[in-house]
Structure 1
Amino acid sequence: MIRHLVLFKLNDGVSRDEQRVLDGVKAFRELGGLIPELREWECDWNISDRPNAYDFGINSAVDDLDALKTYAVHPAHQAAVAVWREFATWVIADFEV
């Protein structure tokens, strides 16, 4: 199994309550039920207020590299990423478990 982690940082001046951000959160929350390759799907706002903390996180799992590639190009995933690209940056880690 591969664990896929993503941490998002909102761009300067962007707040969590902006409609475009709310739309982006909704798009990610729905992915777990839309992409069959996802074995696990969790996402939500970070509750830490530490200075180096990111704002939003995704913790997910897929069976193998082929499933990860399928997830990455899935139209629903690509649409959600396009929304977030407008107001955030992110880092990714994928590792075998």
Structure 2
Amino acid sequence: MIRHVVLFRFKPGIDWNDPRAVEAEQSTAKVGSEVPGLHTWRCGRNVSTRAVAYDFYAEGVLDDIPAVDRYLTHPFHQRSAELWREIADWVVVDVEA
């Protein structure tokens, strides 16, 4: 099993008052039901005010690296990623669960 974790940080001038941020959040919340192969899917806004904190988190568990690759290329995932690309940068880690 692979745990796929993504942390998003808004680009300067973007916050949760921006409708694009809300749209990206809502799309990401649907990834778990729209993209096959995910055993679990979690996401949410950060509640920490620390300077090192990111703004949003998404995490999914998949069978293996080929399943991660299928997830990454799924059209719904691609659309969600495109929404984030406009407003945020992110980091990713894939670890054996």
TM class by smaller structure: over 0.9
Q: What runs of 5+ residues in structure 1 fail to find an aligned partner? A: none
Q: Determine the structure 2 residue equivalent to 1:72.
A: 72
RMSD: 0.6
Shift of 1:69: 0.4
Structure 2 CA distance, aligned partners of 1:61 and 1:54?
21
Question: Following TM superposition, by how much is the alpha carbon of 1:22 offset from its aligned partner in structure 2, in angstroms?
Answer: 0.8
Write out per-residue CA displacement over residues 44-67 of structure 1, whole angstroms, 9 at most, x where no aligned residue. 001111110000001211011111
What is the distance in 1 between the residues matched to 2:23 and 2:36? Answer: 22
What residue in structure 2 maps to residue 36 of structure 1? 36
Query: What TM-score results when the alignment is normalised by the length of structure 2?
Result: 0.97
AA at the equivalent of 1:86: E
Is 1:6 the counterpart of 2:6 in the alignment? yes
Q: Kindly report structure 1 stretches of 4+ aligned residues shifted beyond 4 Å.
A: none
The match for 1:47 is: 47
For structure 2, list consecutive stretches of 5 or more residues without a partner in the other structure.
none
Give the total of aligned pairs. 97
- The code of the aligned residue for 2:75 comes to P
Which one-letter code corresponds to 1:12 in the other structure? P
